[in-house]
Structure 1
């Protein structure tokens, strides 16, 4: 039964790792990976001397930090709140409504955001009603990162809450009943029973999230940004797309991808070490 899964991993995950050799070559399409000249770390030197890559790397870390700090706790809070709802029909209706945005592509979501935030959209109409001027959200650097973070939370918070809701279902009801007998309020039960009970799951999810710290969301950024927002919105993935696909510098894009993988590995090891120390205490 394991054979299909192992074959999938071997063919589509391990075999393509041979392509990492491109990151150390001056890759030529017609010569291939075996015929292109070896240049050592020259591609990495090129990356770290490129102002565009430095800007993309800085933006990637900043946007990812915003999404972790602001976005990571939201599904946890949402799961705790949904768990406290006692009316089953209302509870399931809320869950369904919150799950729906996850199944929309970023092309659809970007269209909705453009319609909401355009000069003639409902948001700017409300702003104009207060006597203020319309805001050009998709040409102003001040608002773009906030749009990325908030739209990502809107789209994924319901879906990401599923695993925490699943963890809450195995919490013993006897603990809640004992706490209520002792006079605990629902908020106290949530903070003293529900939250500690799902803490191992939270730690695992945080570990996985830190491992993908440089995966900010190519589709989201690509569909929302424009050249006027490169200074605050250009990320490593969009940089790789431009340099690799549009300019045919595949060796540079391979070097950038390898850099991402190394950073992800370091973040996973560091986060695991930190969480292990916290758990021991």
Structure 2
């Protein structure tokens, strides 16, 4: 009996191996195309992980990672005693939280509004116009914001011509904070609607037809059909957004910030740039980056755990 089972198992392994080889031969071009993204991930995502060792060293660029002195957690102890680090961390959390509150619902609302449009051509033109800001670099957007909202910009010129006083949009702290969030929402809201529109397209059309028969209004259709149909997509994107609470892009705060609002605009990314590139302290910069990654992972796992506990779909 054992010999029979061994023989069957051996035949199964041979068949499995043969089917794998056949699939390689059949889809060889697809596997060749797959090599490029795999190489990209391996080179630019996994290979740099070796550099994390700098966070535990007194790194010397002339001696390299292998020749630099190992100092353990001394770099982290130094960073965690710096007031500038905690200010950058607090600013990062505040700006990301405000982005979450103001920016996360915006593409959901916009996707629903676009879905309700009946004129197809107008809908396509509107979508195209809304997507365009996503393809502009923050350097260009920063220049546009400065030309329009600086002390001598277009907005203040219009206010002056109407007899109103000037408003310091970019040099007064509260006004700068409002501008930062508003410009961020404007830049990302159009692109963010793509996933939500895709989830709306996947909703069963028979539900809308049944609601028409029952005489439901548009608002009731949105509340009872569209939003529940988008719920899984909303939860996944919300969890991912929470996971990025400690991470923040460099371009936006660096371009829009200035010395008058540094109390708000100095975030972790600009802090890393200042101590890493500006001061040449690569150990500190790496340590802060590692802290960001670990904290982001904790936020992501916690958000996914809470979502599971309340009966929603997580990301794993």
Shared fold (TM-score greater than 0.5)?
A: yes
Number of the residue aligned with 2:37: 5
- 1:46 CA drift (Å): 1.4
Using structure 1 for the length normalisation, give the TM-score.
0.96
Q: Which moved more, 1:21-30 or 1:1-10?
A: 1-10
Which piece of structure 1 moves more, 264-273 or 123-132? 123-132
Is 1:31 equivalent to 2:63 in the alignment?
yes
Which residues in structure 2 correspond to 1:72-83 (within 5 Å)? 72-83=104-115
Aligned mates of 1:147, 1:38 — CA distance in 2: 44
- In 2, Cα distance between the equivalents of 1:243 and 1:31? 20
CA distance in 1, matches of 2:248, 2:186: 15
1:183 Cα shift?
A: 1.4
SS in 1 for 2:246: coil
Deviation by residue 1:218-275 (Cα, 9 ceiling, x = unmatched): 1011111112221111000000001000100000000000000001100110010011
Query: TM-score, normalised to structure 2's length?
Result: 0.86
Q: Structure 1: which 5+ residue stretches go unaligned?
A: none
Residue 255, structure 1, aligned to residue 287, structure 2: yes
Aligned to 1:97: 129
Find the counterpart in structure 2 of residue 112 from structure 1.
144
User: What is residue 275 of structure 1 aligned with on the other side?
Assistant: 307
> Kindly tell me: are residues 248 and 158 of structure 1, through their superposed partners in 2, closer, same or farther at Cα, counting changes over 3 Å?
same
Q: How far off its partner does 1:120 sit?
A: 2.9
SS at match of 1:161: helix
Residue 185 (structure 2) pairs with residue 163 (structure 1):
no
Deviations 1:65-89, CA, capped at 9 Å, x for gaps: 0001110010001001100001001
For residues 236 and 294 of structure 2, the distance between their equivalents in structure 1, rounded to whole angstroms, comes to 20
Check the 8 A contact 2:168/2:175 in 1, yes or no: no
SS in 2 for 1:168: helix
- Most deviating of 41-50 and 77-86: 41-50
- Picking from 260, 280, 289, the partner of 1:228 is 260
User: What SS does structure 2 have at the residue aligned with 1:164?
Assistant: helix
Matched, 1:202 2:234: yes
In the other structure, the counterpart of 2:275 is 243
Q: Helix, strand or coil for the counterpart of 1:217? A: coil
Q: CA deviation at 1:39?
A: 1.1
Superposition deviation, residue 217 in structure 1 = 2.2
- Decide whether aligned partners of structure 1 residues 161 and 250 sit closer, same or farther in structure 2, where only a CA change above 3 A counts: same
CA distance, structure 2, for counterparts of residue 201 and residue 88 of structure 1: 24
Q: For 1:176, which of 185, 205, 208 is the aligned residue?
A: 208
Q: 1:6: how far off?
A: 2.6
Comparing 202-211 with 250-259, greater Cα deviation is found at: 202-211
> Residues 94-120 of structure 1, C-alpha deviation per residue, up to 9 Å, x if partnerless?
101100111111111011111110223
Given the alignment of the two structures, is residue 17 of structure 1 paired with residue 66 of structure 2, yes or no?
Answer: no
Give aligned pairs, total: 281
- Alpha-carbon separation, structure 1, partners of 2:306 and 2:158: 46
CA root-mean-square deviation: 1.5
- Gap regions ≥5 residues in structure 2: 1-30
The answer for the alignment partner of 1:51 in structure 2 is 83
Name the SS for the 1:120 alignment partner: coil
**Whole-Å separation in 1 of the counterparts to 2:306 and 2:142:** 37
Question: C-alpha distance in 1, partners of 2:79/2:261?
Answer: 21
